[in-house]
Chains A and B, each alone.
Chain A
Amino acid sequence: MGLRIRGRAWKLGNNISTDHIISGKYKFKSISSLEGMIPYVFKEVIPGFHEKVREGDVLVAGRNFGMGSSREHAPRLLKLVGVGAVVAESFARIFFRNATNIGLPVITATLVPRITEDGDIISVNLEEGVITNESKDVQERFKPYPKEILEVIRCGGIIEYIRKYGSLPW
């Protein structure tokens, strides 16, 4: 996973839950494989999302993104369908953990979530802590990740980190 991401924005509101991302009942329908759940991603929020999303697209949301269940399927599925990063005003903690653990960058910002519209071009530089809405020509700085987490993202997740370094960071 690179530390630079660039793609189209998908605009979402506040309190997007892991149930919105992948509902528990679909999870049980096709419980045995992550791939089997792809058609159900955002099924009741953005119909057909899994067909329309492109590699590197960025979800831009309001407060408390990823609230609710701890299902790690949610960030994994987002990464699997091609989402390059999630930008939100705030994140639920388990989602933040899970996304970090699997190497999906999650960025807390205030200005960009407010001015972004569907389809805007968003670019993110994780090392420098800069996010840009190119379509609106608005740039915002965010607090960059601690270096350990940056390394986890660079490795593509904590498992890959452990494989490379033989232990957990910190």
Chain B
Amino acid sequence: MTLTEKILSAKVGRRVSPGDFIVIDADLAYAHDGTAPLAIKVMKENERLYRVHDPSKVLLVIDHASPPPNVEVAKVHEQLRSFAREFGVRLFDVGEGICHQVVAESGLVRPGAVVVGADSHTVTLGALSAFATGVGSTDIAIAFALGKIWLRIPESIKVLLDGKLKPWVTSKDVILNIIGNVRADGLTYLAAEFQGTALKHLSVESRMTISNMCVEVGAKAGLFPADEVLASWLRIYGADNGDELSADPGAEYKDELNFNLSKLEPQVAAPPNVDNVREVSEVEGTEVDQVFIGSCTNGRYEDFLLAAKILKGRRVKEGVRCVAIPASRKVFLELLRDGVLEVLAEAGCFIAHSTCGPCIGAHLGLLGPGEVAVSTSNRNFVGRMGHRDSKVYLASPATAAAAAVEGRIVNPKKYLS
């Protein structure tokens, strides 16, 4: 069986195959200030659903427009708080972090878990060897109330990663490269399962970046096996690390993709689509008005550490704004303790407490007409980060930091080799 089939079969208690429709218990269900209000509305309108099946399996996170940039949003946040109080549900309030990151750090997700979130990037938790997938508000209302979710068992695709990345190339470049190859609908409905010799060099943080963007090619989940790398990470976050978990050797896959990481150079997704991926050399020289380092894709400790290597002793180019937002308070504090935030501040970055902020164009750095940004986030659709005539290039934290220093897109190689 594939890892996906293994997790889901264990959960339902019988062998399931691709194409089967099942109703399954969710180990964890969560929503944020963008999607919870609609879920709560759905629950309120239906007395059968106005309850929480098991408060220990439900989380709410205030992250999307946080702290509230306007009065309407402030009211929405109050709604989440009062729901959390009423049902005894844990709420991660303003500043605690972006949902996928705080859920990963919560210790509540263990290998083999089934996790649903009312956000498409819930797939991030596939890095913890959980079957994690994004659903809508109605789905999450049902999961909150009944603890259940309906699913169609997906076919799985094997993605083999071999080799070792160069110091100036990151897992962001890996996933951008994959996206450029398979295109935006290349893995629709499929579960991507990552394997190969490269995995032992990929930290859980790096894996989260890869799993995170699996949804950008339509995948239902992006799973890594539970190995030694994951086990040591889980121990730090107090999660029961469970057993090793991986696909059976003879598992049947719909297809297999191969990527050699050793030769890869930095990749950039040029506007206006995530699959418009180029090698950095092809867009080198593009002038930049804003750099954003953060989001659930690349807002983790190792991301800022890498950016700081480039920014240390240098200045953000005059006329460029560099917005740096760690993905959680935990990440923020670790960066603070280790002096990384000081490096960023000295270089002239604008640093904020954890929030989605500019990633979704909610606040803290929107783009004006014609402005160009390099962002470590995951989407560059028209108008995503501001005016419809602004442009967003998606890149790694290294490429982003180098762009902040030079005011144009460059290969970060010269700063890191």
0/1 per residue, B22-58, Cβ < 8 Å to A? 1100000000001101100010011011000000000
Complex Cα–Cα for A24 and B185 (A): 21
Residues of B within 8 A of A71 (CB): 34-35, 136
A64 with B34, Cβ < 8 A, contacts A19-B384, A25-B361, A94-B135 known: no
Q: Are A64 and B218 also in contact (CB < 8 A) when A31-B37, A70-B136 are?
A: yes
B218 touches A162 (CB 8 A): no
Asked whether, in the complex, the Cβ of A72 is within 8 Å of the Cβ of B37, the reply is no
Q: Which stretch, A51-59, A95-103, A118-126, touches the partner chain B?
A: A95-103
* Cross-chain contact B137 with A162 (CB below 8 angstroms): no
Interface residues of A in 16-43 (CB under 8 A from B): 17, 19-20, 23-25, 27-32, 34
Count of A-B residue pairs with CB < 8 Å? 143
Q: Is A133 an interface residue (CB 8 A)?
A: no
Are the C-beta atoms of B42 and A159 separated by less than 8 Å?
yes
Check A28 against B362 for contact (C-beta < 8 Å).
Answer: yes
Q: CB-CB < 8 A to B184: which residues of A? A: 15, 64, 67
Cβ-neighbour of B188 out of A93, A157, A166 (below 8 A): A93
Q: How far is the CB of A64 from chain B (nearest CB, A)?
A: 4
B120 near A94 with CB under 8 A, answer yes
Knowing A30-B72, A94-B120, A163-B46, the reply to whether A101 touches B362 (Cβ < 8 A) is: no
What separation, in Å, do the CA atoms of A29 and B73 have in the docked complex?
Answer: 8
Q: A15-B184, A25-B383 are in contact. Are A162 and B142 (CB under 8 A)?
A: yes
- Please tell me if the beta carbons of A162 and B118 are within 8 angstroms of each other in the complex: no
Would you mind naming 26 contact pairs between A and B with Cβ atoms under 8 Å apart? Answer: A15-B273, A25-B361, A28-B64, A29-B72, A31-B73, A31-B76, A32-B75, A34-B38, A44-B382, A70-B134, A72-B136, A72-B137, A92-B185, A94-B120, A94-B134, A98-B136, A98-B137, A101-B138, A146-B21, A162-B48, A163-B46, A163-B48, A166-B48, A168-B150, A169-B21, A170-B23
B352 CB to nearest A CB, Å: 17
Query: With an 8 A cutoff between CB atoms, is B347 at the interface?
Result: no
Chain B residues whose C-beta falls within 8 Å of the C-beta of A168 in the assembled complex? 23, 142, 146, 148, 150
- Give the docked Cα–Cα distance between A170 and B383 (Å): 40
| Contact status B383-A44, CB under 8 Å | yes
Name A residues whose Cβ lies closer than 8 Å to a Cβ of B: 15, 17, 19-20, 23-25, 27-32, 34, 44, 63-64, 67-73, 75-76, 90-94, 97-98, 101-102, 146, 148, 157-159, 162-163, 166, 168-170
Q: Nearest-CB distance from A102 to chain B (Å)?
A: 6
A30's nearest neighbour on chain B, judged by CB, is B72
- Once the chains are docked, how many angstroms separate the CA of A158 from the CA of B141? 11
Residue in contact with B379 in the complex, picked from A68, A70, A97, CB distance below 8 Å: A68
